[in-house]
Amino acid sequence: MTAQAVETEDLATVIGLEVHVQLETETKIFCGCSTDPSDEPNTNTCPVCLGLPGALPVVNEAAVEAAVKVGKAVDATIPEETTFHRKNYYYPDLPKNFQITQYDDPICQDGELAFPVGGERRSVDIRRAHLEEDPGSLQHVGGGIDTADYTLVDYNRAGTPLMEVVTEPDFRSPGEVRAFLAKLTEVLEYLGVFDAGRDGSLRVDANLSIVDMSDVAADEIDASVLEDADPNRTEVKNISSHRGAEKALTYEETRQRNAIKRGRAVEQETRHWDESKGVTLSMRSKEEEKDYRYFREADLPPLRVADWKERLEIPELPDARRERFREEYGLSAEAASKLTSTKEVADFFEDVASEFDADLAATWVADELLGELNYRDMQITDVADRFDEIERLVELVANDEITAKNARETVLRGMLDDRDAPDEIVEREGLGKTSGDAVRDAVEAAIDENPDAVSDYHDGEDGAINFLVGQVMQKTGGSADPGDVNRRLREELAR
Ligand code: ADP
Ligand code: ZN
Ligand code: MG
């Protein structure tokens, strides 16, 4: 790229991602150690994941299955046979001094993923997605990566299955990146291969360059345009959230554009995203592929996955399910979207909708339940063991045994805050809709006790009825139906 000042309107932002996602498996990818991140540091280790001489890796079938499912979900080609390679580099979190990864025939090739952004639909090409082992984790004590007093290493993470998803440089803004990551996460969670709540389960390396577009329109940027322009790019590391990706790339975009505007060259380098300071910092000049001395992992034979793609089934994916919910249950776009936000929510909704009216099910799952959970910073998975109780609550409303207001404000909240069962709360709080005799008694008592209001009513002061309704509601502890009370009062007063 020429180091000459350029008009800003001719510049286009080009971004490509390398997304590392931890696959959720019980055990590590090449040994039987647990992947539980909550265990004490350096307790889930063995000769294989510590890289002791002579230890031999064995592939975890569950990790391969997860990778094949991801491949199916992004419409990737899955080869007949896939192989593993060693990527050589030296780093304290990498006990073997090489990482087992994949090189020229990764398990997923040429996929794509569509996602909504700013009211539009975009799609980016996924060049490849390969399996590899996570390194251990470093904990810098007393400062950041550059200022710490010392650094601790934990090999529990070493060997956790990772999938690295590499996109083509198809993104044109940091906002698109964020939207893509949200969709990717959604799909991975639907597949049941990923836990977004796990710390560090998603890490992004983001490549960004600024391309001079004086001769081509921004939507015409393709591989050959990029090859001709051959812009210097930076790779930003240490991004661990969707929002972090957007922020880091916005910073990097501005930094590079400013440099170019002032006629300065952008260095080709690796930069570190400092989340707390909100800046990217130069780390080192970017490694090149030849630095890694890739060679075949001779301890792992080629893996035939030809028939796995046929054998393994994946669930209906969120977009398809959203569409089906709109058609099958007549839901609004917003409701369908909320109800398919995670597979657990969608499954539960369909469960409730199979027993009760779909509108009632949608209201109770999308609005009431998700609203109350959100307010408490809880997830649907936190109440998975209480689905029966929540269905019972919906049943109480459906059967008109309690008012919707009481169901929401007293029963549901009580269930979530105190873990009580719905019937228990209804009983204890006397919320059962008072019907028949009890309401009749309360109506008669209200009339007897309030002769002034009664005569006001007879004198044509219709507002007096509201006072009497209030009296009856008070006597029945708010559990009578106000409309019903109003009707009964008028009937009684007309006698
Ligand atoms: P390298 O071999 O230098 O790692 P790759 O071609 O393998 O480069 O691409 C690595 C990542 O960089 C991919 O995610 C790709 O989309 C992205 N990338 C490639 N060219 C550009 C560019 N000009 N601007 C931004 N990202 C790019
Ligand atoms: Zn191990
Ligand atoms: Mg590369």
By alpha-carbon position, which residue is closest to atom 24 of ligand 1?
209
Q: Name the nearest CA neighbour of 273 among 255, 252, 259.
A: 252
d(CA 147, CA 139): 12
CA distances from 189 to 176, 247, 325, 464 (A): 20, 24, 19, 57
Check pocket membership of 18 for ligand 1, CB cut-off 6 A.
yes
Type of residue numbered 207: N
**CA neighbours within 13 Å on the CB side: how many for 88?**
8
Check pocket membership of 183 for ligand 1, CB cut-off 6 A.
no
Q: Name the nearest CA neighbour of 248 among 259, 257, 235.
A: 235
What pTM does this model have? Answer: 0.82
Helix, strand, or coil here: 476?
coil
CA distances from 46 to 28, 34, 36, 69, 157 (A): 11, 10, 14, 28, 12
Does residue 286 surpass a pLDDT of 90? Answer: no
Q: Give the confidence band of 436 by pLDDT, cuts at 50, 70, 90.
A: low
d(CA 268, CA 280): 14
Query: So what's the pLDDT on residue 6?
Result: 59
Query: So what's the pLDDT on residue 105?
Result: 95
Distance 197 CA to ligand 1 centre (A): 28
Check pocket membership of 209 for ligand 1, CB cut-off 6 A.
yes
Helix, strand, or coil here: 98?
strand
d(CA 273, CA 248): 6
**Which atom of ligand 1 is closest in space to residue 170's alpha carbon?**
16
Whether 373 and 379 have beta carbons less than 8 Å apart is answered as yes
Query: So what's the pLDDT on residue 478?
Result: 79
Q: Which of 68-72, 380-384, 426-430 has the highest mean pLDDT?
A: 68-72
Neighbours of 493 (CB within 10 A): 16
Over residues 297-316, the mean pLDDT reads 94
Q: Give the confidence band of 228 by pLDDT, cuts at 50, 70, 90.
A: confident
Check pocket membership of 129 for ligand 1, CB cut-off 6 A.
no
More confident residue, 221 or 233: 233
Does residue 178 surpass a pLDDT of 90? Answer: yes
What's the residue count for the chain?
495
By alpha-carbon position, which residue is closest to atom 20 of ligand 1?
169
For the chain, the structural domain boundaries read 8-310, 322-428, 437-493
Q: Which CATH architecture has domain 437-493?
A: Orthogonal Bundle (1.10)
Check pocket membership of 13 for ligand 1, CB cut-off 6 A.
no
d(CA 333, CA 322): 8
Does residue 2 surpass a pLDDT of 50? Answer: no
Over residues 424-439, the mean pLDDT reads 79
Check pocket membership of 167 for ligand 1, CB cut-off 6 A.
yes
Which of 110, 124, 207, 221 for mutating ligand 1's site (highest number of atoms within 8 Å of CB)?
207
Q: Give the confidence band of 138 by pLDDT, cuts at 50, 70, 90.
A: very high
